[in-house]
């Protein structure tokens, strides 16, 4: 089988590709991914594969490439993103975040895990299957987007609204970090809330003249944490699936001890607090930004109603929520054929059958699921993503690429 031959002969090519891709700064923000997109364009040019550039924002180009197979069948879409988190405080890194160095079997650099490893898997899957297209059925489309880290408005969201005929598909395969121990069929939603506390403020020696905005904020934060006790109405089918002992064990191994407990639960992270000017002044303003993750079975309307009830205690507080981040959790059929294909290929490779789970973090798969298209994620371990010294193991990288190529091949062979 040609695929297996390429897996054996092309590993050095894969490694150089991921190293070179990692060495390109595609931080978002600020969001200028043109150099990363050009790198991908040049590679597709070398492979003789045509593509379209869709750039609603000049500095954030998206690429679409597609081909028809030898006979009619289903349409599979591969999806990866070019943009990555900013590196943050460089003093916390032991190596340059754009080095792409290999140390002890791992490639270092910002975005190696999230998600240049998975995007590389999509690119090579597309290239390999293009060589075999006459034997396959249906259509394969590659989508490489530049705005995943900041809501996706100019990336996948834009493509599905403006290029739907090209990118909708019958199924989506994505390589976001998810752990080789699991296949993700759904994900919690992100609900970002901004609370602004305003009081007259004044001198710190005169607290009787004005309430402190930061003190109010502290009480509000404690009340917001109580939201975590809300009970979702998760479909019983999913509850039973996610509560299987082998599933819980795989979730905790892949996503960290305790992950199996919070997959069903709402979580609140107070990501940003700004308040106060000087130690002996009463703060007149305080800003709180909260990241709420909603599980399947708890919708945003119910959550906002609870938040509204809390805010009745705090007349000094106003609420804002950024557009585009007010979605409910999304999920696809955990018994879909693509899940079985992924599980079969992983089991043949690792002698372990990864259970289907719901993700803690968000991906662009949500855009397809909201359109009724099943979308699934299989990628490297999430440990280290977004942290200093982010790195992906070569072993996991090779494995993810192999599983994507085999699974896409199997799906288009049966269509």
The predicted pLDDT at position 324 comes to 61
Report H helices in 337-382: 337-350, 365-370
CATH code, domain with 153: 3.40.630.10
Residue 327 in this model has a pLDDT that exceeds 80: no
CB 232 within 8 A of CB 298: yes
One domain, residues 220 and 286: yes
One domain, residues 210 and 176: no
Give 3-state DSSP helix, strand, coil % of the chain, rounded to 5.
Answer: 40, 25, 40
One domain, residues 102 and 146: yes
One domain, residues 292 and 380: no
Residue 245 lies in a domain: no
The predicted pLDDT at position 152 comes to 87
Whether a cis peptide bond, with omega within 30° of 0, leads into 251 is no
Phi and psi at residue 269, to the nearest 5°:
-120, 120
Higher model confidence: residue 259 or residue 1? 259
Residue 164 in this model has a pLDDT that exceeds 70: yes
One domain, residues 306 and 401: no
- CA-nearest of 286, 277, 284 to 202 is 284
Residue 164 lies in a domain: yes
Burial of 370 (0-12, 13-18, 19+ CB in 10 A): middle
Who's near 324: CB < 8 A, 6+ residues apart? 151, 152, 153, 157
Residue 399 lies in a domain: yes
Of the candidates 287, 320, 353, which is a domain's last residue? 320
Cα gap 231→15, rounded to integer Å:
45
The predicted pLDDT at position 254 comes to 87
One domain, residues 376 and 389: yes
The pLDDT mean for the chain works out to 95
Q: pLDDT-based confidence at 325, cuts 50/70/90?
A: low
Query: Would you say how long the chain is, in residues?
Result: 415
Residue 244 lies in a domain: no
Cα gap 314→150, rounded to integer Å:
30
Cα gap 188→362, rounded to integer Å:
7
The predicted pLDDT at position 384 comes to 87
One domain, residues 12 and 35: yes
Of the candidates 320, 339, 365, which is a domain's last residue? 320
Q: Report the percent of the chain where pLDDT is more than 70.
A: 99
CB 118 within 8 A of CB 174: yes
Who's near 309: CB < 8 A, 6+ residues apart? none
Report H helices in 114-244: 117-131, 156-162, 164-167, 213-225, 236-242
Which two tokens mark 140? Answer: 């394969």
Residue 339 lies in a domain: yes
Residue 207 lies in a domain: yes
Of the candidates 320, 355, 384, which is a domain's last residue? 320
Residue 237 lies in a domain: no
Phi and psi at residue 90, to the nearest 5°:
-65, -20
CB 109 within 8 A of CB 23: yes
Question: Domain span at residue 205?
Answer: 189-230+266-320
One domain, residues 17 and 113: yes
0.75 exceeded by the pTM?
yes
Residue 137 in this model has a pLDDT that exceeds 70: yes
Phi and psi at residue 139, to the nearest 5°:
-145, 145
CATH code, domain with 197: 3.30.70.360
The predicted pLDDT at position 415 comes to 67
Q: pLDDT-based confidence at 383, cuts 50/70/90?
A: confident
Domain count, the chain: 2
One domain, residues 309 and 344: no
One domain, residues 183 and 200: no
- CA-nearest of 70, 143, 135 to 410 is 135
- CA-nearest of 381, 383, 365 to 188 is 365
One domain, residues 214 and 283: yes
Residue 100 in this model has a pLDDT that exceeds 80: yes
Residue 253 lies in a domain: no
One domain, residues 13 and 87: yes
């Amino acid at each position: 089988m040609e695929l297996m031959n390429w897996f054996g002969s092309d590993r050095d090519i894969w490694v150089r590709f991921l190293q070179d891709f990692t060495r390109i700064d595609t931080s978002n923000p600020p969001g200028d991914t043109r150099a990363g997109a050009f790198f991908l364009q040049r590679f597709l040019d070398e492979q003789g594969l045509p593509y379209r550039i869709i750039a609603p924002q000049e500095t954030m180009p998206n690429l679409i490439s597609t081909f028809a197979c030898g006979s009619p069948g289903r349409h599979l879409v591969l999806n990866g993103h070019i943009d990555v988190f900013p590196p943050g405080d460089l003093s916390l890194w032991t190596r340059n975040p754009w080095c792409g160095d290999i140390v002890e079997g791992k490639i270092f650099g910002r975005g190696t895990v999230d998600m240049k490893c998975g995007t590389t898997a999509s690119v090579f899957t597309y290239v390999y299957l293009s060589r075999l297209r006459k034997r396959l059925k249906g259509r394969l489309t590659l989508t490489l987007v530049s705005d995943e880290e900041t809501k996706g408005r100019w990336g996948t969201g834009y493509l599905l609204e403006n290029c739907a005929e090209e990118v909708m598909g019958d199924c989506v395969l994505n390589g976001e970090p998810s752990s080789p121990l699991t296949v993700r069929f759904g994900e919690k939603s992100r609900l970002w809330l901004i609370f602004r506390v305003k009081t007259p403020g004044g001198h710190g020696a005169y607290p009787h003249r004005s309430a402190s905005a930061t003190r109010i904020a502290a009480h509000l934060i404690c009340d917001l944490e109580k939201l975590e006790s809300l009970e979702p109405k998760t479909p019983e089918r999913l509850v039973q699936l996610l509560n299987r002992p082998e599933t819980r064990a795989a979730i905790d191994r892949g996503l960290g001890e305790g992950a199996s407990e919070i997959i069903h639960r709402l979580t609140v992270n107070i990501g940003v607090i700004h308040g106060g000017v000087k130690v002996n002044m009463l703060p007149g303003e305080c800003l709180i930004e909260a990241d709420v993750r909603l599980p399947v079975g708890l919708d945003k309307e119910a959550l906002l109603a609870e938040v509204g009830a809390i805010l009745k205690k705090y007349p000094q507080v106003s609420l804002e929520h950024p557009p585009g981040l007010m979605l409910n959790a999304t999920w696809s059929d955990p018994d879909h054929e693509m899940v079985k294909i992924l599980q079969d290929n992983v089991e043949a490779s690792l002698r372990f059958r990864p259970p289907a789970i719901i993700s803690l973090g968000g991906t662009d798969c949500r855009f397809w699921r909201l359109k009724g298209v099943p979308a699934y994620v299989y990628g490297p371990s999430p440990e280290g993503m977004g942290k200093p010294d982010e790195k992906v193991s070569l072993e996991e990288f090779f494995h993810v690429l192999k599983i994507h190529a085999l699974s896409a091949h199997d799906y288009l062979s049966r269509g």
